[in-house]
Each structure stands twice: as C-alpha cells, then as structure tokens.
Amino acid sequence: MGFIQFALKGNYKRHYQNLKKISKKTGKSANLMFIDTAVSALIFKSGLQDYLNYEFYNKSFKERKEYATIGYQNNFYELAANVKYAPFFSNKVNFHKNFSEFTKRKFVSYDDGFSKVKEFISSHKEFVRKPISGLGGKDVEKINAKDIKDLKTFYEKLKEENCLIEELVIQDDEWGKLNPKSINTLRIVTKCIGGQSEILFAVARIGAGKTIADNFHQGGVGVKINTAKGILEGEAIDKEGNTSEYTNDTHIKVNGYKIPYWKDIKKMVNKAAKVNDNVNIIGWDVAISKDGPLIIEGNRGPGMDIVQVLYKRGVKPDLEKVKKEIIAYQKGK
C-alpha cells in the first residue's frame, strides 16, 4: 500500500477530536494543528498517529526530521525486511518450526488433525489459542481445558478461524511481579547483515492485567531498557502518553528494575537473528519463563512507534546508518 492510499484511510474526524483534547491541555489551536498534521504528512510522510505519538505539535521541523514516520518505515522495510520471507515469520506454524530452538514450547494446529489436537488438550490443563496469521496479541486467548464442552466443536472452530494452540508460558516469578496477570514481554529489535547481528533497540511491555497479552496497544505500558545494564530505565508510558514511575496494578517502581536472564536474552536474540539474515531487521517478542527466556514471535519490519515514544527521540538516523550498511553489503556480495 502506497503512502497516499494509506493516508486516505485515516480517520480524520477522530484525529480532529484528539487534537481538540490536546488543545485544551496546551492552548494550541486544534485547527492549526490539523493543518500542521497535513503539512507534516507532506514533508515527513507522517501518519495521524505519528503526529500524536511523537507530539509533533510540540516539535520543530528539525526535530520531526529525526523520526522514522510510517511513510519512512514503509520505504525502509522494502530494503531491510524482504517481503519474500514474510511467511517465514508471520505464519506462526512456520515460525515455530523455523525457530524451535528459541520458541521452546509445544504447539499443534488444526492442520495436524483432530486426534493430535485432542492429544494436546488431554495433556495440558491450560494453553494458549492464537491466530496462525496475525500480530500484536490480537485474539490471543488463554484456554482452560475443563471449559471445553465439546472437543470436536472446538477443533472445527480452530479450523474455521485458522488458529493453533500452544503451551502456556509460566512466567519467571521475579519478572511476573510487574504484572502477574499478563505475560510481560521484551521487544528487542536486532539487525543482522552478512551473518553479523546486534541489538539496536530494546523496550519492555508490561500488561494491564486485562488479557494474557501485554500489548502496548491494548492497555499495557512500555519502559525503555538499558541494554548495557539489563535494567528498566525511566518511566512507564502508555499509548496515550501518560507517564508513571510505577506499574499500574502492582505499583512497583520501574526505573532500575533488573531483567532476569539478560545475558541469555541478548545471546538468544542475536543467534535467532542469524537464522534468516535475508531479513535484516527483526523485532523479537521475548518472554521470560521460569526456565529462562524464550521467543514468542519475530516481527519482520517491526513498527518503531513504541521505541521512539520510549526513547523520546527519533530513530531515523539509526535506521539510515543500517540502510547504508545493507546497501554496502549487497554491493560487495
């Protein structure tokens, strides 16, 4: 989808309502911010959510230029996130098979047949049901086996809705203190060029306790990670930009909170990035279980919104550097 087509799909009425709320807080004209949104879109290829997420209404054009907007990311990922390999990552059955060393949990899909699904359920009191294709924690559901009234009907629904079921991650106790009702994950962005990998950005996502998923877009909060020290750094920030020194439900101070198994986590994602370096940028969703870290999924061409919000700066210069490295490597092959 081109940027113009993407822009035409924007909900401008809702955007204007959001600007009116900002106007009440800042005293800035909602009408002028609306015009500024359009100007920013033309110059920086920013979307409506970019304008809000990064508070462009408070930033100069020089500052906005540093941000990897939705339009910039679309172009960048044409180079760095080879679409040819999308099913390698986005199809969860493929992902489990391709990255079994790192996912570390059993799964079964409707395609394995009724008997395999029945066998899996009989040996797991609780498990997770999720769409085979889909990102962002949407429609991920924790299932208790005893609540299934009819296995055949359950299986047929798996088939109808294109879902798989997999083992439940039992979260590390210390990490779970941040929110024991959700699987709190780390989003770690790696680059891998010519078999050489490294971590670019890392943030933590702490659930709101409403669902098993921690997703930033579903009520959770994010916190920046100090990758050198393996600790959370700064404040917790939600999708609306609200900040707090503490987690919502458990009221634990986030700044300085130690991440268990951090050395193992770094080693794991850097190794996983080398499995298919035809895709140069991957956003890994990492859970911390009682037995150590594991990978939930890998996102080819991950969105940079949560990273830029939590880092409180634009990462376009970082990505431009990666872009030059990719081009140089491809020319040298």
**Residue tagged 């699987």 (tokens):** 183
* CA gap 87, 225 in Å, rounded: 29
Contact in structure between 237 and 222 (CB atoms under 8 Å): yes
> For every one of its 333 residues, what pLDDT tens digit does the chain have, with 9 covering 90 and above?
454 554 556 789 999 999 999 999 999 999 999 999 999 999 999 999 999 999 999 999 999 999 999 999 999 999 999 999 999 999 999 999 999 999 999 999 999 999 999 999 999 999 999 999 866 556 789 999 999 999 999 999 999 999 999 999 999 999 999 999 889 999 999 999 999 999 999 999 998 655 545 455 556 799 999 999 999 999 999 888 889 999 888 899 999 999 999 999 999 999 999 999 999 999 999 999 999 999 999 999 999 999 999 999 999 999 999 999 999 999 986
> Taking a C-beta distance cutoff of 8 angstroms, is the pair 56, 36 a contact?
yes
* The three-state (H, E, C) secondary structure of the chain, written as one string: CCHHHHHHCCCHHHHHHHHHHHHHHHCCCHHHHHHHHHHHHHHHCCCHHHHHHCCHHHCCHHHHCCCCCHHHHHHHHHHHECHHHHHHHHEHHHHHHHCHHHHCCCEEEHHHCHHHHHHHHHCCCEEEEEECECCCCCCCEEEEHHHCCCHHHHHHHHHHCCEEEEECCCECHHHHCCCCCCCCEEEEEEEEECCEEEEEEEEEEECCCCCCCCCHHHCCEEEEEECCCCEEEEEEEECCCCEECECCCCCCECCCCECCCHHHHHHHHHHHCCCCCCECEEEEEEEEECCEEEEEEEEECCCCHHHHHHHCCCCHHHHHHHHHHHHHHHHHC
Question: Measured between alpha carbons, how far is 211 from 22 in angstroms, rounded to an integer?
Answer: 29
The residues with which 285 forms a beta bridge, in sequence order, are 187, 297
Residue 62 phi/psi, 5-degree rounding, is -65, -40
Give the pLDDT of residue 1: 46
Q: How far is CA 195 from CA 201, 240, 270, 278, in A?
A: 19, 38, 10, 9
pTM of the model: 0.92
pLDDT at 305: 95
